[in-house]
Amino acid sequence: MTLHETEIRVRYAETDAMGYLHHSNYLTYFEIGRTELFRSAGGSYRAVEEGGLFLVVVKVSVNYRRPARYDDLLRLKTTITRITPARIEHDYELYRGDELLTTGNSTLACVDGEGQAVALPDALLESAE
């Protein structure tokens, strides 16, 4: 399994009226984690898309345990947990210090410009090794 960690600071615009990180922004953070994991292995989503392939989220779940607040420095662990010929699955753990705030997982499918499922590109498969 491939693992990558990314630090993210909660910005004011990402919070709700109570000063908590808005629930929708966790999905954005997960996307940051996936992108940085791929980049750290020498990959580029831009290059994949320029090649006519796209990774679309087909399933996502989030388990909120504790809230994050404005200006918190968070650490996101992103792990590739499973790869099939056309799909890739990730798990996420979001921490403030040593405190686990949120967990989640997602499944992405690889599609062509017509939206048809296709095999994952070699660059993505190699980054997961």
Cα–Cα distance for residue pair 22/41, rounded to 1 Å: 30
Are residues 5 and 92 in contact, defined by beta-carbon separation less than 8 angstroms?
no
Q: Which of 16, 91, 112, 122 is catalytic?
A: 16
Q: How far apart are CA 55 and CA 65, in angstroms?
A: 28
Q: How many Å apart are CA 14 and CA 44, to the nearest integer?
A: 26
**Catalytic residue at 16?**
yes
Give the catalytic positions in this structure: 16
